[in-house]
C-alpha cells in the first residue's frame, strides 16, 4: 500500500503529543512549532497516521526540517519508507518554493542513514544542541 502526504492540521497536535510521550520525548508547546503546530507534513497509510515532521521557513532560503516523529504504535515494517516519503516531500516543498538549503538534526542512527541515502551531507564531527526556553508564562498542554 502506498503512503500519502498531507499538511498538518489543528487536530494533529494532540496526536503528536501522544507520539512524543510514547517515545519519551519532551512535549513541545504549539507556540514553539511552525504555524502553531500546523507547519509540517503528515505521512499516512490508509487511515493510519505514520510519521510527521515540521518545516521552519525563514526569511532566507534556509528551511529547517525537524521534530520528525513516528507513531510508536505503528508496527509495520515500512516505517523507514514512510520517513523517506516525509523527507522527500519536504524537499519537494522547498523545491516548489524556488529551492534553498535544508537542515535537520538528529541522534537517531536510522534517521541519519536515511538522510545520507537521500543525498544529505552528514557532518561527522559532533555538535551540540543548545536550547533555552524563554516564555513570558508557562504554557500548559
Q: pLDDT tens digits for 84-101?
A: 999 999 999 999 998 889
The C-alpha cell 490508509 sits at 46
Under the banding of pLDDT at 50, 70 and 90, the label for residue 125 is: confident
Q: What is the pLDDT of residue 99?
A: 80
Retrieve residue 89's grid coordinates: 516531500
Task: Give the pLDDT band (50/70/90) at residue 140.
Answer: low
Q: Residue 138: inside a domain, yes or no?
A: no
The reply to whether 125 falls in a domain is: no
Residue 48 lies in a domain: yes
Residue 58 has pLDDT above 80, yes or no: yes
Confidence of residue 137 (pLDDT cuts 50, 70, 90): low
Instruction: Let me know if residue 80 belongs to a domain.
Output: yes
pLDDT of residue 141: 54
Give the alpha-carbon dihedral of 103, 26, 13, 69, to 10 degrees.
Answer: 50
User: What is the CATH classification number for the domain harbouring 61?
Assistant: 3.40.630.30
104 domain residue, yes or no: yes
> Domain residues for 74?
4-117
Q: Residue 53: inside a domain, yes or no?
A: yes
Tell me which DSSP letter residue 32 carries: G
Number of domains into which the chain is organized: 1
Structural domain contains residue 50? yes
Domain membership flag for residue 140: no
Amino acid at each position: 500500500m502506498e503512503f500519502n502526504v498531507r499538511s498538518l492540521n489543528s487536530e494533529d497536535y494532540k496526536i503528536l503529543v501522544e507520539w512524543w510521550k510514547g517515545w519519551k520525548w519532551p512535549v513541545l508547546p504549539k507556540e514553539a512549532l511552525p504555524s502553531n503546530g500546523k507547519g509540517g507534513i503528515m505521512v499516512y497509510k490508509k487511515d493510519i497516521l505514520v510519521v510527521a515532521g515540521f518545516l521552519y521557513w525563514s526569511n532566507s532560503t534556509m528551511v529547517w526540517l525537524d521534530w520528525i516523529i513516528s507513531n510508536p504504535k505503528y508496527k509495520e515494517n515500512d516505517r523507514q519508507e514512510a520517513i523517506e516519503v516525509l523527507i522527500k516531500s519536504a524537499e519537494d516543498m522547498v523545491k516548489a518554493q524556488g529551492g534553498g538549503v535544508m537542515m535537520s538534526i538528529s541522534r537517531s542512527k536510522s534517521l541519519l542513514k536515511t538522510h545520507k541515502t537521500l543525498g544529505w551531507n552528514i557532518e561527522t564531527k559532533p555538535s551540540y544542541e543548545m536550547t533555552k526556553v524563554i516564555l513570558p508564562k508557562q504554557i500548559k498542554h
